[in-house]
Amino acid sequence: MRLNRPMRQLALDIRTELPLSFATFVPGANAELLARLRAIAAPKSFESIYVWGPQGSGRTHLLCAAREAALDAGRPVSFAAGAEAGDDLRLPRGGLLIVDDVEALNEPGQIALFRAFNTARLIGMAILLSGAAPPAQLALREDLRTRVGSALVFEVRPLSDEDKARTLERHAAGRGIELAGEVIDYLLSRGRRDLPSLLAVLDALDRASLERKRHITVPLLKEVLAEDAPRD
């Protein structure tokens, strides 16, 4: 069932992207990790933290949230994606260095990050890193892998189905949609189960409902999933 919406929103299909902040991250079993990241974003924190998890686990969301929290606190931030970092990592004095996907660092980038570890205490800098695997499994130089392993290491714990269901309900409510329990159950039992993929399907389902002037039901969800399935 769709709740009443203003006709202007129906006509323009206005959608709001959720900001990548701590407030929009569903913590699940990651409460301690969130507390540590909030702390590292604050001035005068000098810790090193490594966050790992598969694609879709939310680790990039968390790094972006830490960046925004640090900037809000007046702390300088340097943010780099591993594949783009190279050897020119900017080291903010008294600030926070963030590197996403460290396993994608090239050789000069790995050397630069190793030097950043050596310099961090001298310039009052904290370091926040992310990767797809535990430190011991990273394809990095041995000296850098050891430094990453010496940081506080957190795995991003997956959400339970109950957490995912509540998140889908909240996301749907924000778009004026009332989701039946059977639609949520079917969505959670089919396809990719990471939260970004589930929310993307929900957005596609909303668009299909608007375009076809049909209520959101399991049959409509099946059509959307079939259209999104890879073709041979």
Question: Digits of tens for pLDDT over the chain (232 positions)?
Answer: 444 443 333 323 334 456 788 988 888 899 999 999 999 999 999 999 999 998 878 899 999 999 999 999 999 999 999 999 888 899 999 999 999 999 999 999 999 999 999 999 999 999 999 999 999 999 999 999 999 999 999 999 988 888 888 888 888 887 788 888 999 999 988 867 777 788 888 889 999 999 999 999 999 999 988 887 655 5
Q: Could you tell me the CA-to-CA distances from 24 to 28, 42, 51, 98 in Å, in that order?
A: 12, 19, 18, 20
* Cα-only R_g, the chain: 21
pLDDT at position 199 is 84
pLDDT at position 18 is 60
- What's the CATH number for 160-228? 1.10.8.60
Q: What are phi and psi of 230, to 5 degrees?
A: -65, 140
Give 3-state DSSP helix, strand, coil % of the chain, rounded to 5.
50, 10, 40
* Sheet of 96-100, strands arranged across: 77-81, 96-100, 126-131, 48-52, 152-155
43-64 pLDDT, tens digit per residue, is 999 999 999 998 878 899 999 9
pLDDT at position 17 is 56
pLDDT at position 152 is 97
CA-nearest of 44, 109, 50, 38 to 76 is 44
- What's the CATH number for 31-155? 3.40.50.300
pLDDT at position 2 is 46
What gap in Å lies between CA 54 and CA 44, rounded to an integer? Answer: 30
Angle between helices 181-188 and 218-228 (to 10 degrees): 30
pLDDT at position 1 is 44
Mark residue 104 as left, alpha or beta (left: phi above 0; alpha: psi -120 to 50; beta: remaining): alpha
Report domain extents, the chain. 31-155, 160-228
Q: Which amino acid is at 110?
A: Q
What gap in Å lies between CA 61 and CA 164, rounded to an integer? Answer: 16
Angle between helices 59-72 and 31-41 (to 10 degrees): 40
pLDDT at position 23 is 86
pLDDT at position 191 is 65
